[in-house]
Amino acid sequence: MGLNKKSVDDINVSGKKVLVRCDFNVPLKEGKITDENRLVAALPTIKKLVADGGKIILCSHLGKPKGEPKPELSLAPVAVRLSELLGQEVKFVASPVVVDDSVKAAVDAMKDGEIILLENTRYRAEETKNGEAFSKDLASLAEVFVNDAFGTAHRAHCSNVGVTEYIDTCVVGYLMQKEIDFLGKAVETPVRPFVAILGGAKVADKLNVISNLLEKCDTLIIGGGMAYTFLKAKGYEVGASLVDDTKIDYCKEMIAKAESLGKQLLLPVDTAIAKAFPNPIDAEIDVDYVDCDAMPADSLGLDIGPKTSALYADAAKTAKTVVWNGPMGVFENPVLAKGTIAVAKALAETDATTIIGGGDSAAAVNQLGFGDKMSHISTGGGASLEFLEGKALPGVVAANDK
């Protein structure tokens, strides 16, 4: 599926005021940005608009200030780092209500090619409710709207959807285009074999992803906490492992669905077990490795075992397309990160197109230094999951069709 939306390549914004919704939702520790991938990913679109000679007004949310100014969630540090990355000043126009007369005056004073950054859009309570007043405030600043925030594309908020009601020219940026092209091609027209790897905590979070990917892929691999509900559905003892008893029937259905579609569904064959969940999560922990049909009732599964790691790595190596979302175990603990590392390594070594859904798997791949070995690492966890569910993303839908 190609993206049938107008992009920044279809317009020239010379002399025009352009509002750009970016995803600058970066992790901060004591005012310092600890992972700037999302800033780097936003640069191509910004540079194109500057080269056109537009007046560039950037906006984004950061964290969850819940509708009021929270100094620790100000975008001020982003303006500083963006200026360095672009080699050009990004002027921060701070307002507790994001858009007010002083912001409008700053925009009116802009020269062609200049860049300003607005304050955190979620300082306004209407933002996440897609309220009319804030959508109009944002739209009043510009003649053209560019949405490059893939990370929030699965939400309908003022700054990515509401604003498009009041601006005629609405296009997507390069990052959005790249995300949709990679994820869309993988799911709709994958080079086969197509292997999907799902992990993470709960089956309930990924019900539709499991079902949709089973239809699209050749092999579906399940790891992480959600594997134990599948194992219980197969009649195995899983002790005190994370299990959702309300989803046992669902797992049985998925096992049957895989069979009837002739798809391979791989579940763990061995697992790391311990007597208790590590507390704190990275505490020292003693683990044993047992086969999944021999788990003792008084322990819990916290990672895939070495046999499973080898099995999953082999499956990934035979693939031409791999999509991965969710860790294979409690990877925050070094002892329980082995399965996640094994999968990341297998993906780094294959020639297949490798696509990493955002969130924990993206963080794990980057931390392990495998980031540049992957074909695409999504900047959006929730958005990439909804995409893999086969849902339309409101932030994408709102842009002008080609």
Nearest distance, CB of residue 33 and ligand AMP, angstroms:
22
Question: Smaller CB distance to ligand AMP: residue 36 or 332?
Answer: 332
The C-alpha angle 389, 395, 400, rounded to 5 degrees, equals 120
| Active-site pick, 70, 202, 320, 391 | 202
| Active-site pick, 38, 48, 232, 247 | 38
Question: Smaller CB distance to ligand AMP: residue 327 or 380?
Answer: 327
In this structure, what token pair is assigned to residue 373?
């070995």
Question: Smaller CB distance to ligand AMP: residue 117 or 292?
Answer: 292
Contact 35, 366 (CB under 8 A): yes
Q: Which of 229, 192, 228 is nearest to 323 (CA)?
A: 192
**CA–CA gap between residue 135 and residue 132 (Å, rounded):** 5
Question: Smaller CB distance to ligand AMP: residue 327 or 394?
Answer: 327
Contact 9, 148 (CB under 8 A): no
Nearest distance, CB of residue 305 and ligand AMP, angstroms:
12
Question: Smaller CB distance to ligand AMP: residue 114 or 360?
Answer: 360
Binding site for ligand AMP (CB under 6 A): 200-202, 205, 224-225, 242, 301-302, 326-327, 329-330, 332, 359-360
Nearest distance, CB of residue 125 and ligand AMP, angstroms:
27
Nearest distance, CB of residue 240 and ligand AMP, angstroms:
10
Tell me if residue 382 is catalytic: yes
Q: Which of 128, 124, 28, 146 is nearest to 78 (CA)?
A: 28
Nearest distance, CB of residue 314 and ligand AMP, angstroms:
21
- Tell me whether residue 156 is exposed, middle or buried, using C-beta atoms within 10 angstroms of its C-beta: 0 to 12, 13 to 18, 19 or more: middle
Length of the chain: 402
Nearest distance, CB of residue 213 and ligand AMP, angstroms:
15
Nearest distance, CB of residue 357 and ligand AMP, angstroms:
9
Question: Smaller CB distance to ligand AMP: residue 138 or 227?
Answer: 227
Tell me if residue 38 is catalytic: yes
**CA–CA gap between residue 93 and residue 86 (Å, rounded):** 18
**CA–CA gap between residue 27 and residue 107 (Å, rounded):** 28
Q: Which residue has the tokens 């999951």?
A: 385
AA identity, residue 283: A
Tell me if residue 192 is catalytic: no
| Active-site pick, 225, 357, 359, 381 | 359
Question: Smaller CB distance to ligand AMP: residue 205 or 253?
Answer: 205
Nearest distance, CB of residue 332 and ligand AMP, angstroms:
5
Query: Of all residues in this chain, which one has the CB nearest to ligand AMP in the complex?
Result: 200
**CA–CA gap between residue 244 and residue 221 (Å, rounded):** 19
Tell me if residue 305 is catalytic: no
Question: Smaller CB distance to ligand AMP: residue 202 or 373?
Answer: 202
| Active-site pick, 63, 67, 382, 390 | 382
In this structure, what token pair is assigned to residue 127?
């933002």
Residues with a catalytic annotation lie at 38, 202, 359, 382
